[in-house]
Amino acid sequence: MAHYYTLGNIPHKRHTQFRKPDGGLYSEQLFSTEGFSNDYALLYHCHPPTQIIKTEPHHDVSPRIAEEKMLQHRCFEGFRIPPIKDFLESRVPVLVNNDCHIVLAAPQQSMQDYFYKNTDGDELIFVHEGSGTVKTQYGTLPFSYGDYIVLPRGTIYQIEFDGENNRLFIVESFTPLRFPKRYLSQYGQLMEHAPYCDRDIRPPQDLQTIDEKGDFLIKAKKKGVLYGLHYGTHPFDVVGWDGCCYPFIFSIHDFEPITGRVHQPPPVHQTFETNAFVVCSFVPRLFDYHPQAIPAPYNHSNIDSDEVIYYVDGDFMSRKNVTRGMITLHPAGIPHGPHPGAVEKSIGAKETRELAVMVDTFHPLMITQQALDLENPDYVMSWAE
């Protein structure tokens, strides 16, 4: 997904001898996607990354489904989830299907006693509140409000938060997460018409090689089951790496909005894509400038997708009673649009300061049991005049 990058020390040729100062061999690891047929990275470890010394009993962390089928607009107050100290325990799945899990989290503490690896899916972590550093085998990724943290599946990481007040919106993707193809040249460069460019992508930095032996716990999730794997060497013992498969950060504040004389459709806000869903960023922008323009979005039907919007900050002229952290679900099959009075109110407005993340899935989403505890049951009737 990302461009070629390298950090630390690597040999001149891949798959050749690369020796330590004492004459021993570094251990090469190929980290690849789609069965050696797509992007990959080569990492060079002080020790083989395979030395499991102990395992723990596994346990099921699969989402508990409350409603598998429904045709009704829904709304969930995301900031109702209580802050929880542990990062993994704080993750609350809200909407799920076989392609992705949409998760909220409010962790209070850094990951100090373990590392985490999602072996099933790429993770897209949007930082709503808080700041800190993601530590990985590839180096560190400092983050703050508005950052999208992109972690390819299988990435081992620890998150170090600067404080206790953290709010995260997480999308786990079970198909590869990538930049939209229409933004890319045939060689993979982000083109001039794209709403962001290559220099906006922040790769890992400050590679620190931790050459330690001991007992290091990696919690790994596979098919909804969490496994505890103890390794005899520190997972961040990498002296160098290169390739095109690595974690990175892109800030929503670096997304440049595309505007026009009349209202632009949602694809102009697209930020990431997969084979099964897209992610869009709604950012502060000027409204349409046709003399007869109606800035409010027109009523529309999602024939092929469920639409999820996570409201971050700002004033949303098309919606009433929007709160920070609110999630709306507009399922395929029924139309939706501005709340009553919003269309007339929008005429003459020059700009919006809204900030939101949208996820459109191509297959229906299911509602979890945890989501019902967050639901605003009156939302479905909020279009009645």
Are 310 and 331 within 8 A, CB to CB? no
Tokens 């390739």 belong to: 243
Instruction: Count each helix (H run) and each strand (E run) in the chain, helices first.
Output: 3, 29
Tokens 């939706």 belong to: 336
Are 204 and 140 within 8 A, CB to CB? yes
Structure tokens that stand for 110 in this block:
């850094």
Backbone CA torsion sign across 106, 326, 71, 296? negative
Q: Which residues on adjacent β-strands are paired with residue 219?
A: 116, 228
Are 10 and 44 within 8 A, CB to CB? yes
Query: CA-to-CA distance for 380 and 74, rounded, in angstroms?
Result: 6
Report whether 39 belongs to an annotated binding site. Answer: no
Are 225 and 120 within 8 A, CB to CB? no
> Does 234 participate in catalysis according to the annotation?
no
Report whether 336 belongs to an annotated binding site. Answer: yes
| DSSP symbols for 65-131 | EEESS--S-EEEEGGGSPPBSSHHHH-EEEEE-SSEEEEEE-B-S---S-EEEESS-EEEEEEEE--
Q: Strand pairing of 351-352 and 285-286?
A: antiparallel
Backbone CA torsion sign across 328, 62, 119, 226? positive
What's the N-to-C CA distance of the chain in angstroms?
Answer: 46
Structure tokens that stand for 217 in this block:
């716990």
Angle at the Cα of 321 (from 91 to 264), degrees rounded to 5?
Answer: 85
Are 314 and 284 within 8 A, CB to CB? yes
Report whether 22 belongs to an annotated binding site. Answer: no
Catalytic residue among 263, 269, 290, 363: 263
Query: CA-to-CA distance for 98 and 120, rounded, in angstroms?
Result: 11
Mark the binding-site residues for Fe cation, compressed into ranges.
Answer: 300, 306, 336
Active site residues: 263
Mark the binding-site residues for homogentisate, compressed into ranges.
Answer: 336
Mark the binding-site residues, compressed into ranges.
Answer: 300, 306, 336
